[in-house]
């Protein structure tokens, strides 16, 4: 049997990419920035393997402090691969986990004990007696004793050699929320509102998130001999900058790491986006004034001064540390005109968009297409492009149970009219209703219910397509296997997922492909779908289709980063919003809204598209009612 190029790529280990250089004048802790989250996982896994080997050789065991959540999953997958390759032995490894929700039964889908066994321990040769995780089932009257025993166990193991940390949007490490003192030890804490909002997706609603947790204290964490704080994704960029460049403060527990002698922060480029050396490097060093860097700097300057680009003066450049750029062009006028013209060329109305080509739109969930590109989809169809929209996952976990009951009630009521067996419809409804009564938040639905929820999302997607002018025949529902867990946590992308995507590419043979390129999706599905597309494209024969990246409901490309700005009229934006309305199961209160934003998806989209146009107007570009933004992929995998 032959092995596909995708399978070989997954079997063959690769070295992590080199960290990005740049001055670190404003960084108060060692910070390593890599291009992508996979590079972060590989580099940290490298270091853990080294620590295990060194400490085991020196003292007969190594002690790891471990974290949970989506961030360390790549590290754990890589450690499993290396263990299976014979590169690391866990038989003398002792582990201590940072935290656990309270109360929490150990076999709950949300239990960190279950998370660790499913994602690491069950796949390596660690001894169960060497695993330590705070017990969320400890009676409240024994919690103080339990926490003290946890501290003693760390001390008896000789202390933690290497501690992995994530960072929450409140800046917490472990569950050390704002206000945590630097001398705190393992204890029961009350969770911050921001933290509970972050966890809402995992618990199918904020109301189901425990209000307390057991956590290692700040002092316990700082007692580790080496610490690695890991952050990936744009949604972490703001708090990362505060932790790395801000002063030490109880308001942001992660800033206490600045005082540790051997702590480092490992970031992908998205999480590092607001660090000074990444965001505005000209403030720290001489830069190469490429067109892209020049555009970024001039747009930044215009926004700092509140002026249109063509009104910027030599004094503006000099007062904002852009004298080198000014010197290169001798005067402000040529720079202003050059950048203004480049930005103007990005604006592409219907007449300047592709026509009579084969277009394939990949939508991770059944509503991402109209949320992000409902405007351009209509224009592309009007330009006689043969358009296919591929919905990569069913999105069924994002359907409320009450929506299922509403649809089943309709089927039962309509059964006689539709010529269906009313008794069968009633039995199905009663079976589903009984399952919901027994189900706890986060429990996996019956297979029947999962299928009904899938059909609800598919019917909504069809209605939304028709609302932007496309026929229902344009839809393809891929239902990729990685998503079919019935839980928030998904499987890794596998060969079967890639093969399905590859088959569609072979069928459509697109000239132009649209891909969700954002890295702020709080559930990781967008990122995983993007990986499946990249692998499928890598398997294909030339010519490779042109790839345009759009963003999801959380952020938009900036005007300087975007390659294409698509103007929308008031009527076009209204039609886009009405298409989003067709996703009724996501309307009013979506199960997984993400991003600490209480607005509905349509409200975020409307504000985002209006704001992009308003920013262009303030820069002195042509005035439009609204705009969508896209990045055209040129070299390497999408989004790199």
Of the two residues 202 and 349, the one the predictor is more confident about is 349
Residue 508, domain CATH: 3.40.50.10320
Instruction: Please enumerate, as own/partner, the contacts of 434-437 that have beta carbons within 8 Å and a separation of 24 or more.
Output: 436/401, 436/404, 436/405
Asked, for residue 254, whether it belongs to a domain, the answer is yes
Q: Is residue 15 part of a domain?
A: no
- The residue among 425, 467, 478 whose CA lies nearest residue 448 is 425
Q: Is the peptide bond before 318 cis (omega within 30 degrees of 0)?
A: no
Q: Are residues 573 and 619 in the same domain?
A: yes
More confident residue, 489 or 364: 364
pLDDT-based confidence at residue 200 (cuts at 50, 70, 90): confident
CA distance 266 to 466: 45
Render pLDDT for 275-332 as a digit per residue (tens, 0 to 9): 999 999 999 999 999 999 999 999 999 999 999 999 999 999 999 999 999 999 999 9
Task: Return the pLDDT at 208.
Answer: 87
Residue 316 is assigned to a structural domain of this protein: yes
Q: Give pLDDT, residue 205.
A: 78
Residue 6 lies in a domain: no
For residue range 377-413, what is the model confidence (pLDDT) as tens digits?
999 999 999 999 999 999 999 999 999 999 999 999 9
Give the chain's domain count: 3
Among 296, 300, 240, smallest CA distance to 267 is for 240
* Residue 442 binned pLDDT confidence (cut-offs 50, 70, 90): confident
Residues 207-226 have a mean pLDDT of: 96
Same domain, 212 and 90: yes
Pair 522, 615 in one domain: yes
Tell me what the mean pLDDT of segment 141-156 comes to: 98
Residue with tokens 């592709």: 354
Q: Where are the alpha helices (DSSP H) in 509-631?
A: 525-539, 570-581, 601-618
Same domain, 470 and 325: no
Query: How does the average pLDDT of the chain come out, rounded?
Result: 92
Whether residue 51 is predicted with pLDDT greater than 80 in this model: the reply is yes
Question: Which residues, in sequence order, are bridge partners of residue 190?
Answer: 212
Q: Which of 236, 258, 276 is a domain's end point? A: 276
**Do both 342 and 392 map to the same domain?**
no
Q: What is the pLDDT of residue 11?
A: 47
Over residues 426-454, mean pLDDT? 93
Let me know whether 384 and 334 are in one domain.
no
Q: How many C-beta neighbours within 10 Å does residue 401 have?
A: 17
| Closest C-alpha to 565, from 274, 242, 346 | 346
pLDDT at 129: 98
Percent residues over pLDDT 70 in the chain: 95
Q: Does the structure show a pLDDT above 90 at 502?
A: yes
Identify which of 380, 400, 398 has the alpha carbon closest to the alpha carbon of residue 388.
380
User: In this structure, are 187 and 288 located in the same domain?
Assistant: no
Using CA atoms, how far apart are residues 314 and 27, in angstroms rounded to an integer? 30
Q: From 251, 276, 301, give the residue that closes a domain.
A: 276
Q: Say whether both 224 and 310 belong to one domain.
A: no
Same-domain pairing of 342 and 354: no
In tens, the pLDDT along 59-93 reads 999 999 999 988 899 999 999 999 999 999 999 99
Residue 106, Cβ neighbours under 10 Å: how many? 14
Residues in the chain: 640
Last residue of a domain, one of 276, 301, 324: 276
**Residues 360 and 291 occupy one common structural domain:** no
Q: What is the C-alpha to C-alpha distance for residues 240 and 173, in angstroms, rounded to an integer?
A: 12
Rg (CA), the chain: 26
| SS3 of residue 469 by DSSP | coil
Q: Would the pLDDT of 6 be above 50? A: no
| 3-state secondary structure string across 24-63 | CCCCCCEEEEECCHHHHHHHHHHHHHHHHHHHHHHHCCEE
Spell out a b/e string for 293-332, using b for 16 or more CB atoms within 10 Å of the CB, else e. ebbbbbbbbbeebebebeebeeebbeebebeebbeebeeb
Q: Is the model's pTM score more than 0.85?
A: yes
| Judgement on whether residues 55 and 95 belong to the same structural domain of the protein | yes
Position 436 confidence tier, pLDDT thresholds 50, 70, 90: very high
- Residue pair 65/224 in contact by the 8 Å Cβ criterion: yes
pLDDT for 589 equals 67
Let me know if residue 203 belongs to a domain. yes
Q: Residue 68 in contact with residue 116, Cβ under 8 Å? A: yes
Provide the domain limits for residue 305.
284-346
Q: Can you give the CATH number for the domain in which 166 is found?
A: 3.40.50.1360
Residue pointed to by tokens 């960029």: 237
Question: Taking residues 24-31, what's their average pLDDT?
Answer: 95
Q: Are strands 99-102 and 187-190 parallel, antiparallel or unpaired?
A: unpaired
- E strand segments, 311-385: 358-363
Question: Is residue 208 assigned to a domain?
Answer: yes
8 A C-beta contact, residue 279 and residue 273: yes
**Inside any domain, residue 426:** no
d(CA 456, CA 504): 23
Same-domain check for residues 339 and 392: no
Per-residue pLDDT reduced to its tens digit, 474-496? 999 999 999 988 776 788 899 99
Is the predicted pLDDT of residue 10 greater than 50, yes or no? no
What's the pLDDT band for 594 if we cut at 50, 70, 90?
low
- Please, which pLDDT band fits residue 22 given cuts at 50, 70 and 90? confident
pLDDT of 522 higher than 70? no
| 546 assigned to active site | no
Q: Which of 55, 177, 234, 458 is catalytic?
A: 177
Q: Does the pLDDT at position 552 exceed 90?
A: no
pLDDT in tens, 100-110: 999 999 988 88
Whether pLDDT at 510 is above 90? yes
Q: What is the DSSP letter of 17?
A: P
The answer to the question of residue 420 being in a domain is: no
Tokens encoding 500: 């399905």
Supply the pLDDT for residue 487. 75
Q: How far apart are CA 574 and CA 568, in angstroms?
A: 10
Structure-block tokens of residue 51 = 């620590």
């Amino acid at each position: 049997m032959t092995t596909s190029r995708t399978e070989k790529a997954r079997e063959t280990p690769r070295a992590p990419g080199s960290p990005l250089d740049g001055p670190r004048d404003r960084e108060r802790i060692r910070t390593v920035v890599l291009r992508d989250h996979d590079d972060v996982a590989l580099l940290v896994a490298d270091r853990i393997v080294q620590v295990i080997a060194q400490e085991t050789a020196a003292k007969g065991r190594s002690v790891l402090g471990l974290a949970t959540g989506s961030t360390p999953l790549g590290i754990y997958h890589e450690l499993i691969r290396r263990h299976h390759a014979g590169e690391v032995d866990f038989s003398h490894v002792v582990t201590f986990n940072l935290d656990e929700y309270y109360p929490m039964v150990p076999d709950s889908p949300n239990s960190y004990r279950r998370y660790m066994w499913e994602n690491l321990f069950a796949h390596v040769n660690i001894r169960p007696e060497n695993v330590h995780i705070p017990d969320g089932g400890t009676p409240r009257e024994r919690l103080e004793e339990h926490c003290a025993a946890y501290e003693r166990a760390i001390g008896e193991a000789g202390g933690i050699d290497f501690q992995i940390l994530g960072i929450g949007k409140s800046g917490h490490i472990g569950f050390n929320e704002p206000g945590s003192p630097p001398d705190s030890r393992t204890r029961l804490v009350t969770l911050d509102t921001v933290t509970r909002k972050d966890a809402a997706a995992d618990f199918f609603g904020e109301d189901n998130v425990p209000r307390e947790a057991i956590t290692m204290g700040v002092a316990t964490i700082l007692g580790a001999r080496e610490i690695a704080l890991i952050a990936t994704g744009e949604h972490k960029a703001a708090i990362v900058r505060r932790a790395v460049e801000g002063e030490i403060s109880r308001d942001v527990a992660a800033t206490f790491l600045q005082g540790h002698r051997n702590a480092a922060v490992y970031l992908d480029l998205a999480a590092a986006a607001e660090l000074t050396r990444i965001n505005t490097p000209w403030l720290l060093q001489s830069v190469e004034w490429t067109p892209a860097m020049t555009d970024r700097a001039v747009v930044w300057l215009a926004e700092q001064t509140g002026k249109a680009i063509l009104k910027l003066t030599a004094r503006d450049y000099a007062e904002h540390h852009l004298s080198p750029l000014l010197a290169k062009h001798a005067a402000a006028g040529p720079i202003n005109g050059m950048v203004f013209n480049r930005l103007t060329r990005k604006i592409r109305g219907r007449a300047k968009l592709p026509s009579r080509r084969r277009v394939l739109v990949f939508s991770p969930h059944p509503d991402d297409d109209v949320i992000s590109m409902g405007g351009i989809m209509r224009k592309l169809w009007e330009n006689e492009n043969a358009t296919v929209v591929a919905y990569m996952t069913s999105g069924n976990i994002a359907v409320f149970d009450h929506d299922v009951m509403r649809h089943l009630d309709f089927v039962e009521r309509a059964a006689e009219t539709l010529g269906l067996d009313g008794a069968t419809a009633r039995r199905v409804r009663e079976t589903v209703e009984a399952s919901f009564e027994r189900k706890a938040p986060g429990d996996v639905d019956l297979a029947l219910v999962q299928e009904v929820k899938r059909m609800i999302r598919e019917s909504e997607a069809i209605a939304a397509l028709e609302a932007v002018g496309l026929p229902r025949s344009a839809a393809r529902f891929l239902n990729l296997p990685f998503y079919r867990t019935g839980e928030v946590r998904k499987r890794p992308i596998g060969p079967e997922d890639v093969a399905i995507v590859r088959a569609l590419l072979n069928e459509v043979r697109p000239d132009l492909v649209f891909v969700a390129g954002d890295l702020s999706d709080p559930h990781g599905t967008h990122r995983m779908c993007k990986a499946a597309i990249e692998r499928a494209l890598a398997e294909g024969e030339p010519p490779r289709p042109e790839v345009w990246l759009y963003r999801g409901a959380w952020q938009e490309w900036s005007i300087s980063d975007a390659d294409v700005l698509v103007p929308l009229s008031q009527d076009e934006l209204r039609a886009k919003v009405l298409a989003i309305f067709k996703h009724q199961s996501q309307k009013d209160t979506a199960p997984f809204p993400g991003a600490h934003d209480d607005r509905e998806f349509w409200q975020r989209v409307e504000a985002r598209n209006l704001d992009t146009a308003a920013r262009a107007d303030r820069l002195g570009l042509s005035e439009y009612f609204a705009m969508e933004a896209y990045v055209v992929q040129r070299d390497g995998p999408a989004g790199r």
